Chains A and B, each alone.
Chain A
Amino acid sequence: MTARARSGFPLSLPGGGNVGDRVFFGICAGFALLLVLSLVAMAVEMVGASLPTLRAYGMGFALGRVWDPLHSIFGALPFVYGTVVSSLLALAIAVPVSLGVAIYLSELAPEWQRGPLGFLIELLAAVPSIVYGIWGAFALAPLLRTTVEPFLATYFGFLPMFQGPQQGFGLLAGGIVLAIMIVPTIASVSREVLRAVPSALREGALALGATRTEMVWVSVLPYARSGLVGATLLGLGRALGETMAVTLVIGNRADISASLFAPAYTLASVIANEFTEATAELHLSALAEMGLVLLVVTVVLNALARLLVARVMNRPAGGRI
């Protein structure tokens, strides 16, 4: 990226360096610095707040299966399990759908459809999470209980994940709501990535007699692959930290069960539910440590995702595939 050559005027150019410039660009730099500092402050503050649990439990915190604030026993495993399983379920649903959306919008759809459909997909991201939550609790969960779960239990009941009481509220509901919420993220980033694929690659494939599908498969997807992985990681990061929608549909019980119908609990949900009521120092600190885990995991995922996406976007045209 040679954006500096294209835009911008560093202070070292002739004419720079008067007092007004120094003050103005100094303020700009200050606010830019503020962004970095707030991220650092967040990390420092969260580590500080979780020190008591870090000291008391060490690494065992993540492996403890019992969560009993009344007796000051804090094990985070059920929450880690609920978070991971619901997010992976969401990815399993959302990745194929989002890829389909991105491929349709960037490779297949007629020109007049692209704008409106893309707009509607973006609106999906504009709906607040709490609204997905009440929709999930009052519309989706009853539907799951009466229709979807009995269906799954009847035809796929031999799998442990489709056994057990059908209650609507549970991992399945959480996974579906999360999937709905991350589809726009994955789809829009994937679409940008696909747009960065040079059209010469497409033309080459078509000229050799490939069908559209073969063109996508042979020349578009391989070029875009790392960016698509990045888009998926962005979606995963969003799913792991999503709070309100999941809290309303996942059932909020700190159990570990193989069944997707069973209620579960996530890291973000337990923070939302218990933080204002927690009074014991260890309890507060246990919740803070869960926040710290979420912070670290999402920061790593996002950093990785941005690097992967940038690899496709910034690839020099005509470079190797």
Chain B
Amino acid sequence: MDRWFFRRLVDRLARAACLVATLLALVPLFSVLGFIAVRGAGGISLDFFRELPRPVGEPGGGMAHALWGSLEIVGVACLFAVPSGVLAGIQLAEFSGTRFVRAVRFAADVMAGVPSIVVGLFVYAVVVVPSGGFSALAGSLALALLMLPTIARSTEELVRLVPESLREAALGLGVPKWRATVHVVLRTALPGVVTGIMLAVARAMGETAPLLFTALNNRDWAGGLREPTASLPVNIYTYAVSPYPEWHEQAWAAALVLVTLVLCLSIGARVLARGSVRAR
């Protein structure tokens, strides 16, 4: 009897501990979001989205250039990473048993774990140095390298979920395999593939470390893809480590904008996934 009581007690305590751990893990999420909402809201105004930063001491000013810079860098990164990632993902799914594909899958998994700062160093060495300067393009390449494995792996998973009967039906109609793949398999998997891409974009949008030595920063509008370009994350960093309180406020406002963008993308991706075949 006592023994049963003791076992039940241990059971209750262990279950409670797991629940507490779960709640504890969520405390920082709400703390971070709450803190940013409170501290950042003050700095948000129409000017924030319209104007360039003012010199220290002058009130007002905004981060329009950094917002557009971020969108531009991430947008160009998508041009590199989305087609190559999706096509590599198709290769991974459709030839899944071969030794080559296993090697690629392994490389993709390993690459997804490479620290983003190392990717920044790599792009610095192969793009920035030979091209003679920091540029938005170099930043885009760094982000594309980070997005590539994620997109390839998520595309693979989704393409694999497409039922074999659909492929057979398409082939049975005499369609060449590549068209069956593009028009039937990929189209069926599309919502999930887009989800994977959106999650990769959300992650890339918040990356700071790979942009430090590639896109660098800029106090003004960049004159094109070949010039140093400001981005929200790098600007948050620069402003946060500065000694000026007004800059700190701008950093919070920029963080609020960045988090809103990233969370909208992540949540949107998951809502989209709900309506499609299972996605991660």
Contacts and interface: CB of A to CB of B under 8 A. Distances in A.
Contacts of B107: 35-36, 39
A3 B106 CA distance: 16
Given A130-B206, A211-B8, A272-B209, A97 B24 contact: yes
B132 interface: no
Given A38-B148, A45-B125, A108-B19, A7 B258 contact: no
A38 B145 contact: yes
Interface residues of B, number: 102
Contact of B7 (A41, A100, A211): A211
Contacts, number: 308
Contacts of A100: 17-22, 25
Interface in B1-45: 7-8, 10-11, 14-15, 17-22, 24-26, 28-29, 31-33, 35-36, 39
Contacts of B149: 35
Interface in B243-271: 248, 251-252, 255, 258-259, 262-263, 266-267, 270
A42 B248 contact: no
B96 A128 contact: no
B88 interface: yes
A133 B98 CA distance: 43
Interface size class of A (residues with CB under 8 A): 35 or more
A25 B164 CA distance: 18
B269 to A, nearest CB: 9
A213 B14 contact: yes
B90 to A, nearest CB: 5
Interface of B: 7-8, 10-11, 14-15, 17-22, 24-26, 28-29, 31-33, 35-36, 39, 83-85, 87-88, 90-98, 100-101, 103-104, 106-119, 121-122, 124-126, 145, 148-149, 152, 159-160, 162, 164, 167, 171, 176-179, 181-182, 202-203, 205-209, 212-213, 216, 233, 236-237, 240-241, 248, 251-252, 255, 258-259, 262-263, 266-267, 270
